[in-house]
Each structure stands twice: as structure tokens, then as C-alpha cells.
């Protein structure tokens, strides 16, 4: 469901559940709306507020999948629907974009040490622009993956693309935040605009262009 349509329905669900005693709702309807509200609070709100932080995006997507897989034990239908959807939007787990995580302060030093190792790996994990994953591929072993699992030597293209000096990779990750090269790269990454819906951007661009030409509807 398109983002704007989903948000409107999410808000309606909250309102209906808050004022459920004022409606003639059946028990299964109340339970269904409650389940949606729980999903929004437990999963969607966290994703919504963190989605604009580029460095956190790869790890957020990975953890979101893991949490949904665990949620299957409680709500299999909701979890499966959400998993099927998120599996179509995994651009940030490709070898290149997963490198954003090097500048994520929430990643532990131990994981960052593991992230450096695959940068010397010649093998290509996923050559496409989007990480291909189906909900049926998410097994027990997937829960043990970290962002390091999605990196390879191809991830170095990320640093080349943004002209980020990689000398900091030779240091212990605990010292990265004191290195000028790392801080410069972090500044670049934090300035990136994270956008998922390119079609929505195109529509907005056309609207702005149209508005710059005229404000008179009859001349449009």
C-alpha cells in the first residue's frame, strides 16, 4: 500500500480503537483493529522515525526482518504480509549501500571489526541494485546474520563514489570517531537524503515545476 494511503488508514485505526465503545463493532473487528494498532506501535513507528538516518538504514532493515520473523509466532498473517512487503524494498542491503553502516554509531565495535574483513573478499554476494530475498528464504540462519554478512570488496565502491578516504579502516573501530577521515565520511553520509519512493519524488518535482510557471488554474 502506498505510504500516504497507509498512514491515513493507520491514523483511522487508532481513532476507531480509541473510540470503539461509540461504535457498533463486532468482536472480531475490534480484535483486528487492535492487532493493527499493536503492529504500528511495535514495528512501524520505530521504522518511521529512523528511516531518514542513512547510516542506520541497512541495519534497521535487517533487524526489522528479524523482528517480523519472530512476530510470526504471535501473528503469522500480519508478519507474513509485512515480510512479503519489506522483501521488495531491500536496496540498502546490497553490497554497496550496506557500507553506510560503517558510520552507524549504534553498531558495536565487535560488529564493525567483522565488517572490515569482507572488504577483502573478491566474491560477489549480490550483483543487482536490490538485495533479492523472499520470505521463504528467511530461515533460522538468517537471524544470525549481521550487516557484515552483506559486505564484500564491492562495498568499497561506496567510498569511491563519495570520495571518502578509507585509511580509517586500518584502525581499530574504537578509534574511528577520533579519525579525521572517518569524521569527514560521516559528515558526508549524514548529509545524504534517504528516499525510497522515486515515483513520489518525480510527481513532486513536476508539481513544483508547474507551480513555478503559473498560479492561475485557468492558464495551467
Which of 50, 65, 91 lies at the terminal end of a domain, its last residue?
Answer: 50
| Nearest C-alpha neighbor of 18 from the set 44, 5, 37, 1 | 37
This prediction has a pTM of 0.78
From the DSSP assignment, how many helices (H) and strands (E) are in the chain? 9, 0
pLDDT range class, residue 193, cuts 50, 70, 90:
confident
Does residue 220 sit within a domain? Answer: no
Task: Return d(Cα 13, Cα 204) in angstroms, integer.
Answer: 28
Residues 41 and 62 in one domain: no
Contact criterion met (CB below 8 Å) for 159 and 173 = no
Does residue 185 sit within a domain? Answer: yes
Instruction: With a cut of 90, say whether residue 173 has pLDDT above it.
Output: yes
Does residue 102 sit within a domain? Answer: yes
Residues 35 and 62 in one domain: no
Residues 25 and 103 in one domain: no
Residues 101 and 205 in one domain: yes
pLDDT at residue 126 in the model: 58
Does residue 219 sit within a domain? Answer: no
Question: Which residue pairs from 169-176 have beta carbons closer than 8 angstroms and sit at least 24 positions apart in sequence?
Answer: 169/116, 169/119, 172/109, 172/113, 173/109, 173/112, 173/113, 173/116, 174/109, 176/112
Provide mean pLDDT across the span 174-186: 96
Residues 155 and 197 in one domain: yes
CB atoms within 10 A of CB 125: 17
Provide mean pLDDT across the span 159-187: 96
76 vs 206 pLDDT, higher one? 76
Residues 149 and 194 in one domain: yes
Contacts of 122 (CB under 8 A, 6+ apart): 152, 153
Does residue 148 sit within a domain? Answer: yes
Residues 70 and 41 in one domain: no
Provide mean pLDDT across the span 186-196: 84
pLDDT at residue 127 in the model: 56
| Nearest C-alpha neighbor of 158 from the set 130, 133, 188, 180 | 188
Count of domains observed in the chain:
2
Residues 142 and 163 in one domain: yes
Residues 143 and 166 in one domain: yes
Does residue 163 sit within a domain? Answer: yes
**pLDDT digit string, tens, across residues 12-42:** 999 999 999 998 999 999 999 999 999 999 9
CB atoms within 10 A of CB 207: 10
Instruction: With a cut of 80, say whether residue 201 has pLDDT above it.
Output: no
Contacts of 12 (CB under 8 A, 6+ apart): none
Distances in Å between the alpha carbon of 121 and those of 5, 82, 185? Answer: 43, 33, 22
Domain around 40? 1-50
**pLDDT digit string, tens, across residues 101-152:** 999 999 999 999 999 999 987 665 555 666 777 777 787 778 889 999 999 9
Q: Return mean pLDDT, the chain.
A: 86
Residues 117 and 147 in one domain: yes
Amino acid at each position: 500500500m502506498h505510504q500516504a494511503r497507509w498512514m491515513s488508514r493507520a491514523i483511522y485505526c487508532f481513532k476507531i480503537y480509541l473510540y470503539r465503545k461509540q461504535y457498533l463493532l463486532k468482536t472480531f473487528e475490534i480484535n483486528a483493529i487492535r492487532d493493527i494498532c499493536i503492529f504500528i506501535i511495535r514495528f512501524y513507528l520505530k521504522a518511521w522515525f529512523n528511516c531518514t538516518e542513512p547510516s542506520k538504514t541497512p541495519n534497521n532493515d535487517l533487524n526489522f526482518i528479524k523482528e517480523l520473523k519472530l512476530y510470526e509466532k504471535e501473528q503469522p498473517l500480519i508478519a507474513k504480509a509485512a515480510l512479503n512487503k519489506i522483501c521488495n524494498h531491500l536496496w540498502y542491503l546490497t553490497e554497496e549501500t550496506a557500507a553506510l553502516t560503517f558510520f552507524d554509531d549504534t553498531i558495536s565495535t565487535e560488529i564493525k571489526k567483522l565488517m572490515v574483513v569482507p572488504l577483502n573478499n573478491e566474491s560477489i554476494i549480490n550483483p543487482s541494485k536490490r538485495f533479492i530475498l523472499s520470505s521463504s528464504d528467511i530461515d533460522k540462519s538468517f537471524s544470525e546474520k549481521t550487516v557484515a554478512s552483506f559486505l564484500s570488496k564491492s562495498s568499497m565502491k561506496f567510498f569511491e563514489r563519495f570520495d571518502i578516504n578509507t585509511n580509517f579502516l586500518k584502525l581499530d573501530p574504537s578509534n574511528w570517531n577520533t579519525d579525521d577521515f572517518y569524521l569527514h565520511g560521516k559528515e558526508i553520509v549524514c548529509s545524504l537524503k534517504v528516499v525510497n519512493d522515486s515515483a513520489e519524488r518525480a510527481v513532486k518535482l513536476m508539481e513544483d515545476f508547474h507551480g513555478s510557471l503559473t498560479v492561475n488554474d485557468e492558464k495551467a
